[in-house]
Chain A
Amino acid sequence: MSSERRIRVVVAKPGLDSHDRGAKIVARAFRDAGMEVIYTGLRQTPEQIVETALQEDVNVIALSILSGAHLTLFPRIMDLLKQKGLDDVLVFAGGIIPKEDIPHLKKIGITEVFGPGTRTDTLVKFVLENVRKRK
């Protein structure tokens, strides 16, 4: 038998912005690193993102946001993850997020926040080092 644990990632765009070039490039980088990437498309509510993560049984959630609503949307996502028992999922974010907001986001459970210009291999390395392996 060829049992093999694959890393599954959901790449999600919460809220109301319509630019997903960055998210698609990140998704592509994870695909090329051998991961299975579930892409949600634009304008997702926190409920949709968490439900997708649950149904797809992912180990990682990558959030991309440019609208400035991260302080509203991210805490809601983290709350829902906790409620549904998905607290073992690695969550990180990227996009346009002011430096001064980062400590708060880390406090609510977002493991890392990446800004513009981050290399995709940095992201892949980050996921491989931080993902919690399935038993």
Chain B
Amino acid sequence: MSTYSIGIDLGTTNSAVSYFKLAQAEARGSGQTMLAIPQITSVGTVEEKLLLPSFLYLPNEQEFPAGSLALPWDKKRKDRVVGEFARTHGSKVPMRLVASAKSWLCHAGVDRLSAILPWQAPEDVHRVSPLDAAAHYLAHLREAWDHQFQDDPLAKQDVVLTVPASFDAAARDLTLKAAQQAGLPNITLIEEPQAAFYAWIEQMGEGFRKQVKPGDVVLVVDVGGGTADFSLIAVTSKDGDVALTRVAVGDHILLGGDNMDLALAHKVNQRLAAEGKKLDIWQFNALTFACRQAKENLFADSRLKKSPLVVPGRGSTLVGGAIKAELNRDELTGVLTDGFFPKIDVTDPLQSARRTGLAQLGLPYAQDAGVTRHLAAFLTRQARAMATAHDAPVKVEGRTFVHPTAVLFNGGVFKATPLKDRVIQVLNDWLAADGGQPAKELGGAELDLAVARGAAYYGWVRHGHGLRIRGGTARAYYVGVETTMPAVPGMEPPVKALCVAPFGMEEGTQADVPPQEFGLVVGEHTRFRFFASSLRRGDRVGVMLEDVAGNDELEEVAPIETTLPAKAGNEGKLVPVNLQAVVTEIGTLELRCLEKGGPGKWKLELNVRMKE
């Protein structure tokens, strides 16, 4: 029996841990406890912070004095640094720094189990896989917890780990594996926007019922350091009480606050370059840092027209070597507010021109930096998807997009009130043009810590307290079935998609077995292509979609595979099987082969090593 419910926000740029003492048996209100996480902040210095930067630095053996990377729980640590110092020092030594591991974890274009990070690091750097990196962050959090709560080790507690709503089955599976590798065998997953909403509910107490009522549609806009994530939560009434259902999630968008600070620094750097001042990487980092400060100053005080920027000299001549510049409000508005949150029509399409500067790191960064354009695409596509579904959870007829009635913001980006205001303003312009009512902001959210806090609260909700957000899987899943047709040279046979798990499957349920049967050869390796769709809400199990290649509602996930164990005498035998999908209690998707007319049952594994 665990003493605590613990929420872990494993973020792209920062991680955090919140805890809920189950025995206290009531919501924490606004006093949502956070774990102080000891971490190296400078050579030989350990400090406690509420956020653990999700950065891993892999030092050279002789880089630091012996013993200076020791942690309170590991005096001999010398081969890696996680947290604040990894970030600050790593920015000066990028070839030894692992950053954005979480974005790599959901990047189907690479082998996520092989040691590829730091990306393009030279030979002598000991590289790690995206999974290892995530496991290192989680292990640091576990060790920090165990150091502080020795009688209640983390492995024995209810741990809820957050994932972006846009994570597909493969990325969730990998997150789970990372947790196991970090010594956390029993965890539950929750989507980050939902966690942010839980944190808001816990904070508001019963007062939340005054702010959201049946009929409301809450849009959660979560823009963190590295990713933007959208979810829609519908408020309905059920048996005289309100019920919450997460009705849609957006695609994975690699676009966040870090891009914004970089964009500002690039803008100022262009001006400096034009004046003949060339910055090296150290100075550019200092400029990015200075831009962030200037941005915060300008956003905090609307009367300021500009804010000074100073890049200090790198050598010991501070004054003599300093480069001066300033960030003025027009630039800030142009680059951030208009650049990342442009005023557009809801029907404006996403831009797909390659953005140089952001594309250099090998990750599939969003090609369109306009968060509002991604939002418009999300709301309009979901409206179309719901219009064709038989039981649309939200009214969409006669509307070009899903009309939210309230917006909950999450992520450090929205500490800047002008950016929140811009999102609300753009959304309300769309609503007015489409004959809707203006949406209001749900205030009071703690932008940096809400996800961890909400996850801890969710752990308590799972014990049967408070209000639970329903919704199930945010995608329908399909396996690829090759059609039989005469071979045509140079042309691949079209692949059909068989629905094995419908949209909205709840945790702890299994889908009906589709009638389609497959023949597996015992002892031989079998692989299926595997697809997901966040838009096809109406497909039942067994539905067959023609020609996968021409269907832009389907996204290919990692292939799934299995090998039927051979017993003496049955090698090479053909076994007819049906596929079955199960959504586990902890929120992952499992696929099984069921022997037709027999007792055999085999688990199919997602293969994240390759993509066809």
Chains A and B come from one and the same complex:
no
